[in-house]
């Protein structure tokens, strides 16, 4: 990540803040205020209670995420689907073992302990990427799981039941065994994106990172575990997820804008903490662009990949996870094409399609004003919306608040496309306002 931060500094995408800041709420408050203004990353050099600097909003920009994989923002899904969906070429070398790293060793208490939201149950690690191996095959998985800091020896973590790490842990637990895992904090873009990617259970995600990066991932041995970890990670927390132990975790201010209540969740016993000399800690504000965009891109890619196998004319997909909504951009070819795409999209991912909207290629799929402009100006409300009752949705939903589906065809009426041509002013996209207004 440190190389990437240097690049951001060179392009003016990183602001350094030397004023001392409190990790309890103040750091989160400043992060949120800054993210409301622009998408620059922030580096806090003096965080109370730790010697380690903290960086945030590193990946909170669609523009930067797309650039990291060599795509335009509107081409992210297509490019990421190619990178993560195709098996590596024969002879592809995914990792090099035994990288030499200048390491320091310490305790969890040496790291910044950041508390984000008012009612959070304590300080949290919000950008932790777990690396673990499938108990039988040894395939490596990377995934995010937020962790509540309880003591120098203990973290409490939330493992979504459908995620690979939860399945590894269940397998180890059924044998009465702990699952060894290492937590990476502060990683280069390729590892960050590989951890977000939704790939099959038996796919090795270090291989995915190497496909994204276009070179083998340098790895080093963990000190207390039988595991290799990416050598470039700024901080590595080694440990084991205990079998048959669950302890209260939460509340935590989650991505939909509410608190997840206290639940009995998994326990991670810490066996070692190390960091590269001069390490920078990565803080990620939940529900902010840095939390939302990477996950949205990864989910949209999965939907795009599956949908375009079933329906022709799919141009792009956008997901707004906090709204559980999916937008599908198509070039309609026949009557009912949009409706077919809407129904197919429902089957591609159960969690994030409480509402699915199909739009034409002249609509900005990230702009809800534009999306609803298309729906409400391009035809009837009644015949272009479809409600599917009682379909289960988002996985963490005990009261069934997210059951049911709303499907909206916001494309132009067939045969009347010319009436709905979007007006434009020649040259408006190339105006440089500073030439006119100073
Ligand atoms: C910033 C961020 C935080 C996340 N936090 C959690 C979490 O606390 N628990 C969880 O189960 N999933 C969390 N996720 C989702 C998974 O880590 C992610 O979907 C990952 O791709 C899982 O993929 P897998 O099933 O291939 O392991 C988070 C994702 C991101 C981007």
Q: Which domains does the chain have, with CATH numbers?
A: 2-289 (2.30.110.10), 311-415 (3.40.1670.10)
| CA 211 – CA 213 distance, rounded (Å) | 6
- Cα(192)–Cα(186) distance, integer angstroms: 9
Choice from 31, 84, 130, 160 to test ligand 1 binding pocket (greatest atom count within 8 A of CB): 160
The answer to whether 393 and 351 are in contact (CB under 8 A) is yes
Output the CA 409–ligand 1 centroid distance in Å: 30
Residue 278's pLDDT is what? 97
SS3 content of the chain, % helix, strand, coil (to 5): 30, 25, 45
Q: Of all protein residues, whose CA lies closest to atom 14 belonging to ligand 1?
A: 144
Whose Cα sits closest to atom 21 in ligand 1?
A: 196
- pLDDT value, residue 348: 87
Ligand 1 atom nearest the C-alpha of 143 is: 17
Q: Is 421 helix (H, G, I), strand (E, B) or coil?
A: coil
What is the number of the ligand 1 atom nearest to the C-alpha of 295?
A: 31
Residue 357 pairs in a beta bridge with: 327, 408
Which residue has its alpha carbon closest to ligand 1 atom 6? 145
The atom number, within ligand 1, closest to the CA of 144 reads 17
CB of 259 closer than 8 Å to CB of 324: no
Q: Report the predicted TM-score, pTM, of the whole model to 2 decimal places.
A: 0.92
> Hey, whose CA ends up nearest to atom 16 of ligand 1?
144
Tell how far the Cα of 91 is from the centroid of ligand 1, in angstroms. 30
Omega of the bond leading into 49 within 30 degrees of 0 (cis): no
275, β-bridge pairs: 104, 235
Give the model's pLDDT for residue 126: 98
pLDDT of residue 381: 95
| pLDDT at position 397 | 85
Residue 197 alpha carbon, nearest atom of ligand 1: 21
- Residue with CA closest to ligand 1 atom 11: 160
Q: How far apart (Å, rounded) are the C-alpha atoms in residues 58 and 1?
A: 9
- Return d(Cα 146, Cα 159) in angstroms, integer: 9
Q: What is the pLDDT along the chain (438 residues), one digit of tens a residue?
A: 999 999 999 999 999 999 999 999 999 999 999 999 999 999 999 999 999 999 999 999 999 999 999 998 778 888 999 888 888 888 899 999 999 999 999 999 999 999 999 999 999 999 999 999 999 999 999 999 999 999 999 999 999 888 999 999 999 999 999 999 999 999 999 999 999 998 899 999 999 999 999 999 999 999 999 999 999 999 999 999 999 999 999 999 998 999 999 999 999 999 999 999 999 999 999 999 999 999 899 999 999 999 999 999 999 999 998 899 999 999 999 999 999 999 999 988 778 899 999 999 999 999 999 999 999 999 999 999 999 999 888 888 889 999 999 999 999 999 999 999 999 999 999 999 999 998
Residues 40, 58 contacting (CB under 8 angstroms): no
Atom of ligand 1 nearest to the CA of 127: 1
pLDDT at 191: 97
Atom in ligand 1 nearest the alpha carbon of residue 147: 8
User: 352: CA distance to ligand 1 center in Å?
Assistant: 14
Packing angle between helix 289-310 and helix 76-85, nearest 10 degrees? Answer: 70
Tell me what pLDDT residue 436 has: 94
Q: Give 143-168 as a DSSP string.
A: EE--EEE-SSSEEEE---TTSHHHHH
* Ligand 1 atom at shortest distance from the alpha carbon of 286: 1
- Looking from the CA of residue 299, the nearest atom of ligand 1 is 19
Q: In the prediction, which pLDDT does 86 show?
A: 81
Distance of alpha carbon 17 from alpha carbon 43, whole angstroms: 6
Distance, CA of 12 to CA of 265 (rounded, Å): 41
Cα separation of 103 and 236, whole Å? Answer: 10
Which residues does ligand 1 sit against, CB inside 6 Å? 141, 143-146, 158-160, 163-165, 196, 198, 284, 291, 294-295
Measure 302 CA to ligand 1 centroid, in angstroms. 14
Mutate to test the pocket of ligand 1, among 31, 163, 200, 260 (most ligand atoms within 8 A of CB): 163
Contact 290, 189 (CB under 8 A): no
Distance 254 CA to ligand 1 centre (A): 12
Sign of dihedral through CA atoms 213, 294, 70, 185?
negative
Query: Residue 313: which of 335, 297, 329 has the closest Cα?
Result: 329
């Amino acid at each position: 990540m440190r190389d990437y931060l240097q690049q951001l500094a060179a392009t003016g995408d990183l602001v350094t803040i030397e004023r001392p800041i409190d990790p309890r709420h103040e750091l989160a408050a400043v992060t949120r205020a800054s993210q409301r203004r622009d998408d620059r990353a922030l580096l806090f050099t003096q965080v109370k209670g730790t010697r380690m600097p903290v960086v945030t909003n590193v990946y909170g920009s669609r523009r930067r995420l797309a650039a990291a994989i060599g795509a335009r923002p509107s081409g992210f899904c297509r490019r990421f689907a190619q990178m993560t969906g195709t098996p590596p070429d024969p002879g592809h070398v995914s990792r090099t073992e035994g990288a030499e790293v200048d390491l320091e060793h310490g305790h969890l208490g040496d790291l910044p302990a950041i508390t984000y939201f008012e009612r959070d149950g304590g300080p949290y690690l919000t950008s932790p990427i777990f690396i673990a191996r499938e108990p039988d095959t040894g395939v490596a998985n990377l995934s995010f799981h937020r962790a509540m800091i309880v003591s120098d020896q203990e973290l409490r973590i939330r493992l979504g039941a459908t995620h690979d790490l939860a399945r590894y842990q269940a397998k180890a637990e059924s044998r009465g065994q702990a699952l060894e895992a290492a937590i990476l904090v502060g990683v280069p873009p390729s590892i960050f994106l590989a951890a977000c990617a939704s790939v099959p259970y038996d796919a090795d995600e270090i291989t995915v990172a190497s496909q994204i990066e276009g070179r083998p991932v340098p790895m080093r041995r963990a000190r207390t575990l039988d595991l290799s970890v990416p050598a470039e990670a700024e901080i590595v927390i080694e440990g084991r997820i205990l079998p048959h132990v669950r302890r209260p975790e939460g509340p935590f201010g989650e991505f939909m804008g509410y608190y997840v209540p206290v639940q009995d969740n998994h326990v991670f016993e810490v066996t070692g903490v190390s960091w590269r000399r001069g390490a920078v800690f990565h803080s990620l504000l939940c529900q902010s662009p840095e939390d939302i965009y990477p996950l949205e891109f990864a989910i949209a890619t999965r939907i795009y990949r599956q949908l375009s196998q079933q329906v022709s004319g799919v141009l792009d997909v956008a997901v707004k996870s906090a709204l559980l909504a999916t937008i599908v951009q198509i070039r309609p070819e026949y009557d009912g094409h949009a409706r077919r795409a809407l129904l197919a999209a429902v089957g591609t991912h159960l969690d994030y399609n409480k509402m699915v909207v199909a739009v034409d290629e002249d609509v900005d799929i990230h702009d809800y004003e534009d999306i609803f402009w298309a729906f409400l100006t391009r035809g009837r409300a009644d015949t272009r919306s479809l409600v599917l009752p009682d379909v289960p949705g988002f996985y963490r939903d005990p009261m069934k608040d997210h059951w049911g589906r709303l499907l909206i065809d916001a494309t132009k009426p067939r045969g009347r496309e010319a009436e709905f041509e979007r007006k434009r002013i020649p040259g408006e996209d190339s105006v440089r306002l500073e030439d006119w207004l100073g």
